[in-house]
């Protein structure tokens, strides 16, 4: 893929150099090669240096990408409708949002639930970035200052089991990915090294990873590269003990396992984003650009079943939002004109926009009521 990125400002270049120096001190002074997952974790989440831990503008028109909550308030209102259904049946329940971005989704959900007289006991935001915590607090202070007392920021999940709705919007795609390649029937874990001062790909022999990857293929390809998210199982395990009864809403772009590891998807899904330019070089401006990998929803479904969760629904984003009343939302008292309103619906639901690539998986624990967002489409058989 040809990379034609805009030239970053001088302070961004300096920051990226600081990230490389940090990698050199932290890792390359002791070893020649590190797993790509360690590299991705460092350049995205290292305090003060990582992409999500720095003051770099990430969301919106002036950032690197736009998420659904940034695109339209309609997204948050639909999720609020789904939350309202669950909260009405699970009184004294909370909401836990993982990685709340700018805070726009939280503010829209809270304001909508307030109108519905169905606020949660507490709205928890689990956010590892102190910089993003500050940004979320500013957003909520401006949008709904009277509801700020019901919002708490956490560094880890609650210790005591609670009833809760868990929201994970574009969380799994940002988890550090393990990258592997198959070269002439030999599997390697992809690592990162320094060559003449430049970051580059290196191969690592990893027999344990080979045993994990082999079951993904009916026939072992000769040349192939893809990713594996080894954070999914620990994530599900962490929810197993902290949620007594509840619902998990996972919204992200991705595929079923059969689609993810299809023979024709031989270059994997690893992608980088800088100033709304997508490219495939994770070593370009580390710490300044986003790095993501698509989500294997079959992997999530298997991990969920192993940790006492039921897969209650799986569909594309378009059908989920329509099931949650997207076209019935009241826009009479809103700033949205009919034209803008229609544009927002198109962006959220059209197959060539977010409607098809983004999927929604709903997990439940001791909650049997059919969910409104899953009423129009059921793709669970594809998992």
Q: How far is Cα 247 from Cα 168, in angstroms, rounded to an integer?
A: 11
pLDDT category of residue 217 using cuts at 50, 70 and 90? very high
> What's the average model confidence in pLDDT over 228-238?
97
Q: Is 276 left (phi over 0), alpha (psi -120 to 50) or beta?
A: left
Does 197 reside within a domain? yes
- CB distance 255 to 379 below 8 Å: no
Look at residue 332 and tell me whether its pLDDT is greater than 60: no
> What's the average model confidence in pLDDT over 28-48?
95
Percent pLDDT > 90 in the chain is 82
Percent pLDDT > 70 in the chain is 95
> Mind listing the pLDDT tens digit for each residue in 258-300?
999 999 999 999 999 988 788 999 999 899 999 999 999 999 9
Q: How far is Cα 58 from Cα 288, in angstroms, rounded to an integer?
A: 9
Q: What is the residue-averaged pLDDT of the chain? A: 93
Does 4 reside within a domain? no
Look at residue 2 and tell me whether its pLDDT is greater than 70: no
Does 332 reside within a domain? yes
Q: Which pLDDT does position 204 carry in this prediction?
A: 97
DSSP state for residue 247 in the 8-state scheme: E
Q: b or e along 145-158 (b: 16 or more beta carbons within 10 Å of the residue's beta carbon)?
A: eebeebbeeeeebb
Look at residue 9 and tell me whether its pLDDT is greater than 90: no
Q: How far is Cα 331 from Cα 333, in angstroms, rounded to an integer?
A: 6
CATH code: domain of residue 190: 3.40.50.12710
Does 217 reside within a domain? yes
The total domain count for the chain is 1
Does 5 reside within a domain? no
> Mind listing the pLDDT tens digit for each residue in 72-119?
999 999 999 999 999 999 989 999 999 999 999 999 999 999 999 999
Q: Which pLDDT does position 276 carry in this prediction?
A: 79
List, in order, residues 6 or more apart from 247 with CB less than 8 Å away: 86, 165, 166, 312, 362, 363, 364, 365, 367, 371
Look at residue 55 and tell me whether its pLDDT is greater than 80: no
Question: Cα-flanking dihedrals φ and ψ of residue 188, to 5°?
Answer: -125, 145
Domain containing 88 equals 10-383
Does 111 reside within a domain? yes
235's tokens: 């994530």
Rounded alpha-carbon distances, angstroms, from residue 169 to 112, 177, 226? 18, 17, 23
Q: How far is Cα 69 from Cα 97, in angstroms, rounded to an integer?
A: 13
Q: Which residue has the higher pLDDT, 210 or 219?
A: 210
Q: How far is Cα 200 from Cα 283, in angstroms, rounded to an integer?
A: 7
Does 3 reside within a domain? no
pTM (2 d.p.):
0.95
Does 219 reside within a domain? yes
């Amino acid at each position: 893929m040809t990379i034609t990125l805009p030239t970053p400002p001088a302070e961004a270049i300096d920051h990226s150099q600081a990230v490389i120096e940090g990698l050199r001190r932290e890792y390359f002074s002791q070893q020649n090669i590190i797993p790509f997952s360690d590299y991705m974790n460092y350049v995205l989440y290292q305090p003060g240096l990582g992409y999500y831990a720095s003051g770099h503008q990430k969301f919106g028109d002036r950032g690197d990408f736009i998420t659904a909550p940034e695109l339209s308030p309609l997204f948050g209102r639909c999720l609020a409708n789904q939350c309202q259904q669950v909260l009405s049946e699970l009184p004294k329940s909370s909401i836990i949002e993982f990685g709340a971005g700018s805070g726009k989704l939280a503010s829209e959900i809270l304001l909508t639930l307030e109108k519905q007289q169905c606020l949660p006991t507490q709205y928890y935001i689990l956010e590892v970035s102190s910089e993003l915590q500050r940004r979320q607090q500013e957003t909520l202070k401006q949008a709904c200052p009277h509801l700020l007392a019901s919002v708490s920021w956490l560094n880890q999940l609650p210790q005591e089991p609670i009833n809760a709705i868990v929201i994970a919007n574009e969380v799994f795609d940002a988890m550090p990915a393990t990258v592997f390649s198959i070269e002439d029937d030999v599997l390697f874990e992809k690592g990162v090294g320094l060559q003449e001062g430049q970051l580059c790909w290196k191969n690592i022999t990893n027999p344990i990873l080979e045993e994990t990857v082999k079951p993904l293929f009916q026939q072992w390809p000769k040349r192939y590269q893809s990713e594996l998210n080894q954070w999914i199982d620990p994530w599900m395990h962490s929810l197993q003990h902290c949620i007594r009864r509840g619902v998990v809403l996972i919204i992200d772009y991705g595929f079923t396992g059969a689609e993810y590891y299809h023979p024709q998807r031989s270059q994997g899904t690893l992608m980088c984003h800088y100033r709304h330019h997508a490219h495939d070089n994770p070593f370009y401006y580390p710490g300044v650009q986003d790095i993501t990998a698509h989500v294997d929803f079959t992997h999530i479904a298997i991990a969920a079943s192993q940790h006492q969760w039921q897969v209650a629904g799986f569909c594309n984003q378009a059908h989920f939002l329509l099931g949650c009343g997207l076209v019935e939302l009241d826009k009479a008292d809103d700033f949205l004109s009919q034209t803008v309103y229609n544009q927002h619906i198109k962006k959220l639901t059209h197959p060539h926009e977010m409607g098809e690539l983004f999927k929604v998986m709903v997990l439940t624990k001791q909650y049997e009521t059919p969910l409104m967002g899953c009423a129009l489409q059921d793709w669970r058989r594809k998992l």
